Structure 1
Amino acid sequence: MRLSFLLKIAATVGLVLLFHGLFPDGFEGARVGGLAAVWLVLLVAVRRDVARSRRAWVALGGAAVFAGMLVDDPGPLPWVLFWAVLSVAALIPRVAAFDDAWRWAMRLLVQGLSTPFALPFDLRRMGGVRGRGLSPVRIAATLALPVIGGTLFLVLFAQANPLIENVFYNVALPEPWQLGLWAAVAAMAWPAFRPRAAAIRWAARLPDPEPRMPGTSLPSVLLALGLFNLLFAVQNALDIAFLWSGAGLPEGVSAADYAHRGAYPLIATALLAGVLALAMLRPGSESAGNRWARRLVTLWVAQNLVLVASSVLRTTRYIDESMLTAWRIAALLWMGLVALGLVLIAWRILRAKSARWLLNANAVAAGLVLSVCATVDLGATAAAFNVDAQRPEAVDLCYLRHVGDGALLPMIKLEQRLMDAATRERVRFIRQTLFADLLWRQTHWGSWTPRGARRLSAARAALGREVARPVDPRLRFCDGSLPNEVQS
Structure 2
Amino acid sequence: MQFKLGRWRLALWTKVGLAAALVALADLLLYDHTPGASLGLFTTALALGAALVHPALRRDRRGAWALAIAGGFALLMIEDPGLLAWLLFWTALAVAVLSARAGTHDDVWRWFQRLVFAGLAGVPAPFLDAKRVLGRGAAPGRLRRTISLIALPLIGGALFLSLFVAANPVLEAGFAAFRLPELSIARGLFWLLVTIAVWAAMRPRALRRPLPLAIRPGLTTSATSLVLSLVVFNGLFALQNGLDMAFLWSGAALPDGVSFAQYAHRGAYMLIFTALLAGAFVLAFLHPGTPSAERPLIRWLVIAWVAQNILLVASSVLRTLDYVEAYGLTGLRISALTWMALVAVGLVLICVRLLAGKSPSWLINANALALGLTLTLASIVDVGAISAAWNVRHAREVGGGGAELDLCYLAGLNDAALVPLVDLEQRPLPADMRRQVAWIRSENMTELADRQSQWRSWTWRGQRRLDTAASRLGQLPTPLPPPDQRSCDWRSKPQPLTAPPQDGT
Contact 1:392–1:417 under 8 Å retained in 2: no
Contact 1:405–1:438 under 8 Å retained in 2: yes
Q: Distance in 1 between matches of 2:482 and 2:96?
A: 51
SS of match in other structure, 1:447 = coil
Contact 2:110–2:211 under 8 Å retained in 1: no
Spell out the pairing of 1:342-421 with structure 2 (5 A cutoff): 342-392=347-397, 394-421=404-431
Shift of 1:424: 0.9
Spell out the pairing of 1:173-212 with structure 2 (5 A cutoff): 173-198=182-207, 200-201=208-209, 204-208=210-214, 210=215, 212=217
Aligned residues: 449
Partner of 1:258: 263
Cα separation, partners in 2 of 1:212 and 1:125, compared to 1, 3 Å:
farther
Deviations 1:121-179 (A, max 9, x none): 333344446xx538xxx99xx99xxxxxxxxxxxxxxxxxxxxxxx9xx8765101110
- Which residue, 444, 453, 458 being the options, matches 2:454? 444
Contact 1:325–1:379 under 8 Å retained in 2: yes
Deviations 1:325-360 (A, max 9, x none): 112112111111111221222222222222222222
Q: Distance in 1 between matches of 2:396 and 2:239?
A: 39
Amino acid in the other structure paired with 1:40: A
Cα separation, partners in 2 of 1:254 and 1:480, compared to 1, 3 Å:
closer
- Which residue, 38, 56, 60 being the options, matches 1:53? 60
Q: Distance in 2 between matches of 1:190 and 1:418?
A: 57
Q: Which runs of 5+ in 1 are unaligned?
A: 144-166
Amino acid in the other structure paired with 2:30: F
Amino acid in the other structure paired with 2:407: L
- Which residue, 30, 43, 59 being the options, matches 1:36? 43
Shift of 1:32: 0.5
Contact 1:427–1:480 under 8 Å retained in 2: no
Spell out the pairing of 1:210-229 with structure 2 (5 A cutoff): 210=215, 212-229=217-234
The answer to whether residue 30 in structure 2 is matched with residue 23 in structure 1 is yes
Shift of 1:312: 0.1
Amino acid in the other structure paired with 1:82: F
Deviations 1:362-392 (A, max 9, x none): 2222222211111111100111111111123
- Which residue, 11, 18, 21 being the options, matches 2:18? 11
Shift of 1:214: 3.3
Contact 2:238–2:308 under 8 Å retained in 1: yes
Amino acid in the other structure paired with 2:459: T
Q: Distance in 2 between matches of 1:342 and 1:478?
A: 47
Shift of 1:83: 0.8
Amino acid in the other structure paired with 1:381: I
Q: Distance in 1 between matches of 2:80 and 2:302?
A: 45
Contact 2:329–2:387 under 8 Å retained in 1: yes
Shift of 1:478: 5.1
Shift of 1:436: 1.1
Q: Distance in 2 between matches of 1:171 and 1:432?
A: 38
Deviations 1:266-312 (A, max 9, x none): 11221221122123221221112111111111111001001101110
What TM-score do the two structures reach when normalised by structure 1? 0.85
Normalized per residue, the structure richer in helix is 1
Q: Distance in 1 between matches of 2:466 and 2:15?
A: 41
Contact 1:408–1:459 under 8 Å retained in 2: yes
Shift of 1:420: 1.2
Amino acid in the other structure paired with 2:238: A
Shift of 1:472: 5.6
- Which residue, 88, 92, 98 being the options, matches 1:85? 92
Partner of 1:426: 436
What TM-score do the two structures reach when normalised by structure 2? 0.82
SS of match in other structure, 2:475 = helix
SS of match in other structure, 1:246 = coil
Q: Distance in 2 between matches of 1:56 and 1:416?
A: 51
**Alignment RMSD (CA, Å):** 2.7
Contact 1:337–1:365 under 8 Å retained in 2: yes
Shift of 1:4: 1.9
Q: Distance in 2 between matches of 1:466 and 1:52?
A: 60
Contact 1:397–1:478 under 8 Å retained in 2: no
Contact 2:122–2:204 under 8 Å retained in 1: no
- Which residue, 129, 135, 138 being the options, matches 1:122? 129
Contact 1:211–1:278 under 8 Å retained in 2: no
Q: Distance in 2 between matches of 1:28 and 1:213?
A: 49
Partner of 2:273: 268
Partner of 2:236: 231
Q: Distance in 1 between matches of 2:213 and 2:421?
A: 53
Q: Distance in 1 between matches of 2:485 and 2:121?
A: 47
Identity, % of aligned pairs?
Answer: 44
Contact 1:383–1:407 under 8 Å retained in 2: yes
Contact 1:34–1:67 under 8 Å retained in 2: yes
Amino acid in the other structure paired with 2:191: W
Q: Distance in 1 between matches of 2:282 and 2:234?
A: 12
SS of match in other structure, 1:116 = coil
Q: Distance in 2 between matches of 1:486 and 1:128?
A: 79
SS of match in other structure, 1:444 = coil
Contact 1:301–1:343 under 8 Å retained in 2: yes
Amino acid in the other structure paired with 1:233: A
Partner of 2:330: 325
Q: Distance in 2 between matches of 1:462 and 1:211?
A: 62
Partner of 2:118: 111
Shift of 1:108: 2.0
Q: Which runs of 5+ in 2 are unaligned?
A: 1-7, 148-175, 399-403, 496-505
